[in-house]
Structures are given as C-alpha cells and as structure tokens.
Amino acid sequence: MIIEKQLTDLNIGHYVTKIAKQNGSFSLGTPGHIKSDKVINRLKSKKVISVFIDESKTIPKPASIKNTDNSTKDRATIKAEIKNAKAIFNESKNIQKELFTQALSGMTIDLGPVIEVTNKSVDAIFNNPDSLACMVNIREKNEYLLEHSVAVAVYITIFAHHLKMSKEVVKQLSVGAFLHDIGKIKIPDKVLNKPGKLSDEEFIIMKTHANHSIDIIKKTPGISKLSLEVAALHHEKLNGEGYPFQVKEKDISQYGRMIAICDIFDALTANRVYKEGFTHNKAFSILRELAKNNHLDISLVDQFIQCVGVFPIGSLVQLESKKLAIVEQRNNNSPIKPKVRSFYSVNLNQYLDTQDIDLTDTNDFIVKSVRAEEFDLDMNTIINMLLMEG
C-alpha cells in the first residue's frame, strides 16, 4: 500500500517510491529503501517535506545483535568495525609492498611501520576478536603475495588471543608472521607464480624462500628473537620432514606449530589467479589430515578450528531457504547456528534486501559453506553492499 509519510516520521527500512512534497526541486533517482539516518538528513537538506512509501516493502528494524560477551552491538558499530578493519588491512598491504621493494633492492627493511600496523591489528583483535576476521575473505586474486602474510598475521593474532597469550607476546608473533614470507621476493616469477604443480627442481628453488626470509629478518634492526623464531619455523613439520632445516618435533615451539597451521589454512582458503580456494570446512578437514600424518600439532589444530569457528566470521553460507548469507557473529553455545545476514536469492539469482537472522530463533538453517565464485559473485561487492549507507 502506497502512503504519504512526513519526513519527520520517515525511518530506516521504509521503501520510498517518490517525493510527495518539497520546497525545492530535488529529484529522486530510483525508488529504494532508507538504509541510514544519513539519507533522511540528506532529504531534509534538499527541503523535502514528505515522500510516498510502499508499506508492503518496509523492512522491520532488526533487533540489536549481541556480542559474545553479551553486550549489544548495533549495525552502526558493526559497520564502523568493518571499515576500520578494511583500513588496517589496506594499510598493511601497502606496507608489505614497500617491504618487498626494500628486500628486492637489498636494503635493510624498516621495522617501524610493521610494528605500528601490527599493533593496530592486535589492538583491534583484543578489543573484538572478530573485528578483522572478515577482511581475510576479501582478497584480490592477483595480490596473493601481498595479502598472504597480512592474513597469516591476522590469523596468528586471533589464535594467540584465543589461547590467552599476553599482548606483548602476541605483538611479536604478529610481526614475525607479517615478515615470514618476505624472502619470496627473491624467487623468480616463473616459479613463484607458476599455475601448475612445480617440478622437483622448481620446488627446490621455491623452498629457498624460507632461507631468504630468515636472512632478511636476521638483518633487521630491532627484530625480536620470538619474531624471528616464528618466521623461521613456518614450514617445519613435526615429523622432521619440513624445511629449511628439518627441525624435529621436540625443537618446534608452540609458536612455530601455530604459524604452520595459520600459514597452511590461509594458503588453502585464499583465491589465486590460477586456483580457487577451498571452503573453510574443507580446509579444516585438510588440516586435521595433515595432523594425522604428524605434520601439524593435532591439539593446536583443534584449538584453531574452535578459535576460527565452524562457520568463520565473514564466510558465506547457503541457507535451507535458498538464500546466501554472510556470517556476522558466532554462537559459542551453538556453533552451527551463528548470526548471519542474508543478501542473495539462489533461486532468483539476484540480490535481495538484506536481513539479519539469528539462526537460534528461526527454522532456517545452514546447508553448507559456499564461496562467492560459485555464484559468479564478488566478495568485495558483497561487503560494500552490506556496508552501504543508502
């Protein structure tokens, strides 16, 4: 039903069809939902007095979302946290790019910006462990080299916080993870970016990146022993068959075991130009299989899965209702029933008005984890849409 609504009575969720009365000459581009107070304020600034709305399309205002510490978190807070996370992630990529330039030219790398940005990441995660989680799912296929180390630093920070390690230790772990693949810049492009399986000779060359990383990090003024340790151990295996030094199980610290898990998990789930990543659940299965073969620490793998969550923040799921949704908040009491935000119809192959859904309060449920590419969607587009203010 179309009714006239005074601007003073207009709310978020109303579907505006056209301008009714105004003292100016503002023209409404297309009908649509009011998605923020900012839109209403803009209409006021254009001297709009009233609008026509379609009541049948009104989206009810969602209930506040509860955080894992039982405090309430509204949509504006979630948006602010995601925007801050995007800023940190993008700053991290820019710093990573500069580090590669320094390392390639033989310069001593500048640790200052690394410490500054990883401290921002650690502070954000200690404030809210889920704050950066969705960012590692928004990846550019052609920027894997830049984004991988940033993502591993995020994962090890989340993991260490979950294990209740001290903030000072976590900061050093984050720096080590941020630098762990710096030596890859020394690997020829034809080997580093080869789409198919590496030959034995090529794999020998690829493995030298770990040695290059260690050499570069050792020469970095101000680097801590812990940061160097965690970077040096990221490709070692408990069975002693890792590289570069075939370190035995008893000599691989908890920190080294942690970064190995984070490194493999991100490599499995990240999209690349020549390969689509696995879903999180498939990657978890592979981690557990590697642990059975004594490559990884099984107890830490289980802790990592618990930490990241069965359906990680920022991952996509398909609901029984044939909608796609993004996971916004975990549910520690019932891990298979997180809070999600639906945005797409599988049946209609089109975007829908978004809806917040607490799966503990509905008959709907998650059928499976999915990737955006399965539906010819782009994660950046999805996140930008969910952040849209009008």
Contact present, 342 and 324 (Cβ < 8 Å): yes
- Give dist(CA 259, CA 157) in Å, integer: 10
The predicted structure's pLDDT at residue 165: 97
- Give dist(CA 100, CA 192) in Å, integer: 14
The predicted structure's pLDDT at residue 221: 97
31 and 160 in a common domain: no
Amino acid at 121: S
The predicted structure's pLDDT at residue 188: 96
pLDDT (average), residues 330-348? 90
100 and 45 in a common domain: no
CA-CA distances (angstroms) from residue 145 to 91, 150, 152, 184, 251? 15, 9, 12, 8, 29
The predicted structure's pLDDT at residue 268: 95
Residues 6+ apart with CB under 8 A from 290: 264, 296, 301
pTM confidence score: 0.77
pLDDT (average), residues 159-180? 97
- Give dist(CA 357, CA 328) in Å, integer: 10
365 and 243 in a common domain: no
With CA atoms as reference, report the closest residue to 154 among 85, 214, 101.
Answer: 85
pLDDT (average), residues 331-359? 91
Q: Does residue 345 carry a pLDDT above 80?
A: yes
Determine, yes or no, domain membership for 126. Answer: yes
- Give dist(CA 90, CA 71) in Å, integer: 29
The predicted structure's pLDDT at residue 246: 98
Q: How far is CA 378 from the centre of its chain?
A: 14
The predicted structure's pLDDT at residue 313: 84
267 and 119 in a common domain: yes
Domain of 266, in residue numbers: 74-308
Give the total number of structural domains in the chain. 3
Q: Which residues of 225-262 are buried (b: 16+ CB within 10 A; e: fewer)?
A: ebbbbbbbbbbbbbeeebbbeebeeeebeebbbbbbbb
> What's the chain's average pLDDT?
89
- Give dist(CA 121, CA 153) in Å, integer: 9
Determine, yes or no, domain membership for 343. Answer: yes
79 and 28 in a common domain: no
- Give dist(CA 334, CA 364) in Å, integer: 14
pLDDT (average), residues 179-192? 96
Comparing 70 with 185, the larger pLDDT belongs to 185
Helix segments in 293-346, DSSP class H? 298-308
The predicted structure's pLDDT at residue 164: 96
What digits encode the pLDDT tens for the residues 50-75?
A: 988 987 777 755 433 344 443 345 66
329 and 207 in a common domain: no
Comparing 55 with 113, the larger pLDDT belongs to 113
Among 71-85, 126-140, 256-270, 366-380, where is mean pLDDT lowest?
Answer: 71-85
- Give the rounded percent of residues in the chain with a pLDDT score beyond 90: 59
Comparing 295 with 28, the larger pLDDT belongs to 295
35 and 98 in a common domain: no
Determine, yes or no, domain membership for 214. Answer: yes
Contact present, 300 and 261 (Cβ < 8 Å): yes
352 and 303 in a common domain: no
What digits encode the pLDDT tens for the residues 119-154?
A: 999 999 998 888 788 788 777 777 888 999 999 999
Determine, yes or no, domain membership for 134. Answer: yes
237 and 122 in a common domain: yes
164 and 304 in a common domain: yes
pLDDT (average), residues 34-43? 81
Handedness of CA 164, 168, 172, 174 (dihedral sign): positive
CA-CA distances (angstroms) from residue 361 to 338, 356, 369? 10, 11, 20
What digits encode the pLDDT tens for the residues 287-308?
A: 999 999 999 999 999 999 999 9
Determine, yes or no, domain membership for 375. Answer: yes
- Give dist(CA 79, CA 258) in Å, integer: 30
Determine, yes or no, domain membership for 201. Answer: yes
Residues facing residue 33 across a β-bridge: 15
- Give dist(CA 240, CA 134) in Å, integer: 34
Cis amide linkage into residue 188, ω under 30° from 0: no
Comparing 128 with 160, the larger pLDDT belongs to 160
pLDDT (average), residues 275-293? 93
- Give dist(CA 382, CA 155) in Å, integer: 22
The predicted structure's pLDDT at residue 69: 40
CA-CA distances (angstroms) from residue 124 to 76, 213, 273, 346? 17, 27, 30, 34
Determine, yes or no, domain membership for 338. Answer: yes
**Which CATH number do you get for residue 281?**
1.10.3210.10
284 and 143 in a common domain: yes
183 and 120 in a common domain: yes
